[in-house]
Homo-oligomer: A and B are copies of this chain.
């Protein structure tokens, strides 16, 4: 039957999930053709699956014919990690109101920091991070502080990889980074200075859970405030302590559902 590009061995499940993931790679709505391309599926296969997903509300179709992730997906996903987000949210808000700066809550996911929550003001700011987004650990204050307090093997594994450079200021030398992490562990907080993006710096402190590092909270500020950002340390530490208290009674697994679902 004339060859064809049939790629046997691919499960239906993997096709469905590829379709959903196609939307991660690109902002905004996708046409059927885009989806087929990004997910590596023949057009007619994509068509059939996309239709079914739309029927279930996992995709939605805009008036112009393009597709978007559906609200059903979002609704479902709200259950994920809710314990941590819900418990920590008011404190992250306090952190923002007390400092007036963009405040973050992040955890480790594989070799990256995953931003769980973020509270910010209405002034427009250049946003490198976003809720649900990932950044490398060595370039962010939340990442560094998590890495610093992680178990040795996690830190060692991390430092053995090629460290991505974001700006000229990113610390990518494993030796120097290791030394920096030691210092962070001693002083109890981490900072960055234009290591993800020019114009902004950040400071973060650890949040512990059952004796282990669980998450980190941090602030992002314009570089102009770099010299004085340690003035926020008392607030950061106070809020971290409150989050620790609020989450202490929640079993670790149900905080994020064993959050090592690391991409990469």
Contact = CB atoms under 8 A, between A and B. Distances in A.
Interface stretch (A21-29, A150-158, A167-175, A178-186): A21-29
A13 B49 contact: yes
A166 interface: no
A66 to B, nearest CB: 8
Contact of A24 (B61, B75, B96, B122): B75
Nearest to A54: B261
A261 B71 contact: yes
Contact of A16 (B16, B62, B73, B90): B16
Given A13-B49, A62-B258, A73 B77 contact: yes
Contact of A93 (B68, B76, B93, B242): B93
A163 B68 CA distance: 32
29 contacts: A11-B52, A12-B13, A13-B56, A24-B75, A29-B253, A29-B257, A61-B258, A62-B253, A62-B254, A68-B80, A68-B253, A68-B254, A69-B76, A69-B80, A70-B261, A71-B81, A71-B109, A73-B73, A73-B77, A74-B77, A75-B114, A75-B133, A78-B131, A90-B121, A90-B122, A91-B122, A93-B119, A93-B121, A97-B97
